Chain A
Amino acid sequence: MASNQIMFILFSAMIIVFSVLTVTSRKILRAAVYLLFVLVSTSGLYFLLNYQFLAAVQLTLYAGGIVVLIIFSILLTSHISQKFEPYELKKSVFSAIAVVAGAVLSIITILDYSFSATSEAAKEVDMRLIGKSLLSVEYDGYVLPFEVISVLLLAAMVAAIVVAKKSGPEKSISPKLNQE
C-alpha cells in the first residue's frame, strides 16, 4: 500500500471518528475540540491533494478563526461543570434518519460521477492563478461572488455594530471609558 493511501485512510478515519464524537459529546468544549480535529484532518486531506492554498486557508479560517471564536464564546458563557442532558429518543431517531438520508444522497452522487483514474503527479497550484481568477471578469472569473460576499460581510459588520451599540441616554457615558 502506498503512503498516500495510508495517509488518506488515516485522515478519513479521523474525520469520521471525530465528527461522530463532536455531535455525541455531552461536554460542550470537548465537542468544540473534536470539531477542531475534524477541520485539521480535512486540511490534511487538502495537503495530500497538493492543494496547499486551500489547506492553509482551511487552517487559518476554520481551525485558527472559527474554532477559536467558538471556544472563546464557550469560555465566556459556560462553566466546566455544565453537561448536556441526553436527548429524547424521538429527537435522536429523527436526527439519525436525517443523517442517513444525507449520507445516502452524497454517496449516490459520488457513485454517479465517473472519476477518471490518472497516474499523473499532482500539479502545484500557482498562487498568481488563484489571485487573478478571483479578480477576473472573464467566463471563469470569480469577481462577482467575491464582491457579493464582501457586501454580505459589510452588512454583517454593520448589523453587529447596531446590535452592540447602546441607545438612549447611556450614549454619553460610554465613550469616556476609553479615554484614559
Chain B
Amino acid sequence: MPFDIYNFTSFTQWIDSSLHNAMSPFWTALTEMVIIGVLVLMFYAVVGLFLVYAERKVCAFMQNRLGPNRVGPFGIFQTIADLVKLLFVELIPIKNADGFLFNLAPFIVIIAGFMAIAAIPFANGLHAIDMNIGVLYVIAVSSMGVIGVLLAGWSSNNKYSLIGAMRSGAQIISYELSVGLALITIVILAGSMQLSVIVEAQRDGWFIFKGHIPAFIAFIIFLISSTAETNRGPFDLAEAESELTAGYHTEYSGIKFAFFFLAEYMNMFIVASIAATIFLGGWMPFHVGPWVGFNHIMDFIPPFVWYIGKTFFVIFLMMWFKWTFPRLRIDQLLTLEWKYLLPINLVNVLIMAFLVLMGWHF
C-alpha cells in the first residue's frame, strides 16, 4: 500500500507498546480489552441509531413520502429522541413469565452480535482479533443469536411470542446452511479462512469479479439467506405484525425492547459487512489487475470509506428487498431454502472447486 497514512497497524502497535511500557502484561491485556469493548459499544450504538434513521428514510423514499423531518435538519435527531423516549418507558413485569430467561434473552442476542463484530476488519490494521478461522468463527457466533429469540418467545408465556419464536427458529436453522455454504464457496477461492488474508487476496480485484459466475451466484445466495437469517422482510415471519402483533418480542417494553430492536439492525450491519469483506473486498479499494495508474488513484480514498461505502451499499439492497417484496409464507420460505437454495449452493461449491482446480478464475 503506497499510502501508509491509511495504515493503522503502526498506530495500534504504538498503543500496545506504550501500554506495555506503562504496566504489567496482565493489566495491559485488561486495558486493551476495555478500550476495544468501549469502542465496539459506541460503534454499536451509533451505527444502530443511524441505521434506524436510514431505514425510515429509505422506506419513505420507496413509498414516495418524506419520512422523519421534524427533529433537526432532515429529521436526523429523530432516532435519538426515540431512544431517549425508550429509556424512560416503564419496564412492564410479566406475571407468569420465566423471569430469569425473560431477562437473559435480549443479552444473548446482543452478545452474539458483539462477538461477531470483533472479527470484522474495518481498515488496514483496525481489526480487533484476526483469527486463522475468521469465517468459521463469524458463522459460529452469529448462529448463537437465535437462542435469544427462542428464549424470548418461550419465556414470555404468550402464544404470539411462541409462534414467532418457532418460525424464527425453523427459519434460521435452515438458512444458516446456505449462509455457511455461500461463504465456503469463497473460502475455496481464497484458500484461507483468515479474514485479513481474504481481504489481502482481493488486492488485484474483488472476489465477486475474480470468481465470476460461481462467486456471483454465491453472492446472490448469501444476500437472500442472510436477509432471512436476520429476520428481515420479506422473511420477517417471526415478527409479522399483521398476524403475530410483534412476534417474539411482543411482551418486551422499554430498554429491553430496544435491545432487540438494536440487535436486529446490528445483525443487518454485521451481515452486510461480512458480505462486503468476503465478496466486495472489505476495506480494499477498487483495483483492476494491471492498471497501475488507476489503482494508484483509487488508493487515495481511505480504506475505512471503502469499507463503509460497500457495507451501506449491501444494507441499502437489503432495505430495498424489505420495502418492495411481499412477505413469504412459512412453507414457501422452507421450500425456497431446501428445494432451491441448498441444491444450487452445493452444485455451486463444486463448480467453484473445479474452477480453482483448473485455474479459470482471474
B331 part of interface (Cβ distance < 8 Å): yes
Task: Give A residues with C-beta under 8 Å from B.
Answer: 2-3, 27, 29-30, 33, 36, 52-53, 56-57, 59-60, 63-65, 67-69, 71-72, 74-76, 80-81, 124-127, 177-178, 180
Chain B contacts for A67, CB-based, 8 A: 147
B136 is an interface residue with CB less than 8 A from chain A: yes
- Nearest A residue to B115 via CB reads A59
Report chain B residues within 8 Å CB of A36: 147
A31 to B140, CA, bound (A): 22
Shortest C-beta distance, B149 to chain A (Å), equals 10
B166 touches A75 (CB 8 A): yes
Q: Mark B84-100, 1 if CB is under 8 A from A, else 0.
A: 00000000000011101
User: Contacts of A52 on B, CB cut-off 8 Å?
Assistant: 131-133, 137
Contact partners of A178 in chain B: CB under 8 A: 331, 335
A99 → B minimal CB distance (Å): 25
Contact call B26/A29, Cβ cutoff below 8 A: no
Given A80-B157, A177-B331; A71-B25 close (CB under 8 Å): no
A3, A33, A57, A180: the one within 8 Å of B29 (CB): A3
Measured CB to CB, the nearest residue on chain A to B331 is: A178
B133-A127 in contact (CB<8A): yes
- Assembly CA distance A68 to B140 (angstroms): 13
B295 within 8 Å of A (CB atoms):
no
Return the chain B residue nearest A7 by Cβ. B29
Contact of B143 among A2, A64, A81 (CB under 8 A): A64
Chain B contacts of A68 at CB under 8 A? 143, 146-147, 150, 169, 173
- Return chain A residues, CB-CB under 8 Å to B173: 68-69, 72
B181 nearest CB across to chain A (Å): 13
CB–CB B157/A63 < 8 A: no
Do the beta carbons of B132 and A124 come within 8 Å of each other?
A: yes
A75 and B169 within 8 A (CB):
yes
> Smallest CB–CB gap between B68 and chain A, Å?
37
On chain B, the residues within 8 Å of A63 by CB distance are: 140, 143-144, 147
Per-position contact with A for B224-238: 1 when CB-CB < 8 Å, else 0? 000000000000000
CB-contact partner of A56 in B104, B133, B165, under 8 A:
B133
Tell whether, in the assembled complex, residue A72 and residue B155 are in contact, meaning their CB atoms are under 8 Å apart.
Answer: no
Interface pairs (26), CB distance under 8 Å: A29-B98, A29-B155, A30-B101, A33-B104, A33-B151, A53-B133, A53-B136, A56-B136, A57-B136, A59-B141, A63-B140, A64-B140, A68-B143, A68-B147, A68-B173, A71-B147, A72-B150, A72-B166, A72-B170, A75-B162, A75-B165, A80-B96, A80-B98, A80-B155, A127-B133, A178-B331
Considering the complex, give the chain A residue whose CB is closest to the CB of B332.
A180
Q: Which residues of A contact B136 (CB under 8 A)?
A: 53, 56-57, 60
Q: Which residues of A have CB within 8 Å of B335?
A: 178
User: Which of B139, B143, B157 is packed against the most chain A CB atoms within 10 Å?
Assistant: B143
B250 to chain A, nearest CB (A): 15
Assess whether B192 is in contact with A60, with CB atoms less than 8 Å apart: no
Residue of B nearest to A74 (CB): B154
B30 at the interface (CB under 8 A from A): yes
Contact B101–A33 (Cβ < 8 Å)? yes
B133-A2 in contact (CB<8A): no
Q: In whole angstroms, how far apart are the Cα atoms of A53 and B135 in the complex?
A: 11
Top 4 A-B pairs, shortest CB-CB distance = A64-B143, A59-B140, A60-B140, A56-B140
**Residue of chain B at shortest CB distance from A69:** B173
Residues of chain B contacted by A127 (CB below 8 angstroms): 132-133, 192-193
In the complex, B247 has a CB within 8 A of chain A: no
Enumerate chain B residues within 8 angstroms of A74, measured Cβ to Cβ. 154
Question: Given the complex of chains A and B, what is the CA–CA distance between A126 and B197 in angstroms?
Answer: 14
Known contacts: A52-B133, A127-B133. The answer to whether A65 contacts B143 by CB under 8 A is yes
Distance (whole angstroms) from the CB of B235 to the closest CB of chain A: 18
How many angstroms from the CA of A29 to the CA of B150 in the assembled complex?
10
Report the separation of the CA atoms of residues A57 and B140 in the bound assembly, to the nearest whole angstrom.
Answer: 7
Q: How far is the CB of A6 from chain B (nearest CB, A)?
A: 8
B281 at the interface (CB under 8 A from A): no
B147 and A3: CB pair below 8 A?
Answer: no
Residues of chain B within 8 A (CB-CB) of A180 are: 331
Minimum CB–CB distance from B82 to chain A (whole Å) comes to 31
Is B153 an interface residue, CB under 8 A from the partner? Answer: yes
A30 and B140 within 8 A (CB): no
Chain A residues with CB below 8 A from B192, complex form: 127
CA distance A72 to B97 in the complex (A): 18
What chain A residues lie within 8 Å of B331 (beta carbons)? 177-178, 180
B96 near A3 with CB under 8 A, answer: no
B-chain residues with CB within 8 Å of residue A29 when the two chains form the complex: 98, 101, 151, 154-155
Provide the bound-state CA to CA distance between A180 and B137, in Å. Answer: 38
**Is there contact, CB below 8 Å, between B96 and A76?**
no
Let me know if A71 and B151 touch, CB within 8 A: yes
